[in-house]
Amino acid sequence: MNPKQQKSDALERGQRPLAASALPWLGGLLFVAVLAVLWLPLSRMGTNPAAIRAWLEQLGPLAPLAFFLLNVIQIVVAPIPGYPVQVLGGILFGFVPGTIYTVGGMVAGGTLAAGLGRWLGRSWLERRLGADTLAHWSDIAHINSFWMWWLILLIPFGDLPYFFAGLTKIRLRTFALAILASRGPFTALLVWTGSSVADLPLGWLTLLTGLIGLVVIAGFSQRARIEAWARAFVARQAKQSEAREQ
């Protein structure tokens, strides 16, 4: 390899980590920017309940069911980002009903993803998630504890843990409770943000949006380190679980 090519490869290797580390920040800033841009039209919509009711009346009594199914589908089928859908629940239905529909759909979707992984088998999971991903997390198949899954679901891995649970023997109703206890509170906070968009002063809304954006940035910017720690932690717990079963 000639010196020029070596220099080019070195520069490329140096640029890739920089670009990768910048992506979470760009994603978090984009999240904050989108909410900031949408604040005015959403607040106008929130101060006009008639507009919301008119939109919902098109679906009639099926509106809550449709939104519930949207939350299920965004986990199991379609790659729809979850955060905007959760905020939308608060805007459309208010805090309490929106939380019920949103968290309920999330729990149902996560439990269904685990059930599909269990019923359709590893080959389906490999097609859905990738063989390498499953191989990296093979030790998770030995994790059947509610509290361990509560902790795993706190890690910012998106919807992957829902499918990983299909490899385990954890009862689906226990897994559903783990989803509710682990991810329910933050989801409720996002719904509350949506329900308060018309009532909060712009300064407070900006602060809250910024804090949520920082949480997203922190989680995804450290994702590689968190994943390495989580895989090592899962491996240790899996060995302990196997030892207890013997």
Residue 23 pLDDT class (50, 70, 90 cuts)? very low
DSSP string, 178-190: HHHHHHHHHHHHH
Q: How big is the CA angle at 179 (ends 38 and 133), to the nearest 5 degrees?
A: 90
Higher pLDDT, 235 or 153: 153
User: Among 36-50, 53-67, 114-128, 228-242, where is mean pLDDT lowest?
Assistant: 36-50
Q: Does the pLDDT at position 46 exceed 60?
A: no
Listed in sequence order, the residues at least 6 apart from 151 whose beta carbon sits closer than 8 Å to its beta carbon are 182
Residue 10 pLDDT class (50, 70, 90 cuts)? very low
CA–CA separation, 129 and 224 (whole Å) = 17
Return the closest-CA partner of residue 79 out of 183, 159, 179, 175: 159
Distance of CA 161 to the CA centre of its chain: 10
| Mean pLDDT for the stretch of residues 164-173 | 94
At residue 11, the pLDDT reads 40
End-to-end, the C-alpha distance of the chain in Å comes to 55
Listed in sequence order, the residues at least 6 apart from 14 whose beta carbon sits closer than 8 Å to its beta carbon are none
| Mean pLDDT for the stretch of residues 21-48 | 50
| Mean pLDDT for the stretch of residues 178-190 | 94
| Mean pLDDT for the stretch of residues 29-43 | 51
Cβ atoms of 226 and 155 closer than 8 Å? yes
Cβ atoms of 141 and 167 closer than 8 Å? yes
- List, for residues 107-125, the tens digit of each pLDDT value: 999 999 999 999 999 899 9
Round the CA-based radius of gyration of the chain to a whole number and report it. 21
Q: Does the pLDDT at position 25 exceed 60?
A: no
- List, for residues 85-114, the tens digit of each pLDDT value: 888 888 888 899 999 999 999 999 999 999
CA–CA separation, 40 and 46 (whole Å) = 10
Return the closest-CA partner of residue 86 out of 76, 75, 77: 75
Q: What is the pTM of this model?
A: 0.70
At residue 239, the pLDDT reads 79
Cβ atoms of 100 and 188 closer than 8 Å? no
Residue 14 pLDDT class (50, 70, 90 cuts)? very low
Give the Å distances, CA to CA, from 44 to 35, 51, 113, 155, 188: 14, 10, 37, 35, 22
The residue written with tokens 């998630």 in the block is 129
202-221 vs 223-245: helix axis angle to the nearest 10?
A: 60
The backbone torsions φ and ψ at residue 143, rounded to the nearest 5 degrees and listed phi first, read: -95, 110
Reduced to 3 states, what is the DSSP secondary structure of residue 157? coil
- List, for residues 69-88, the tens digit of each pLDDT value: 888 988 988 656 677 788 88
Cβ atoms of 171 and 87 closer than 8 Å? no
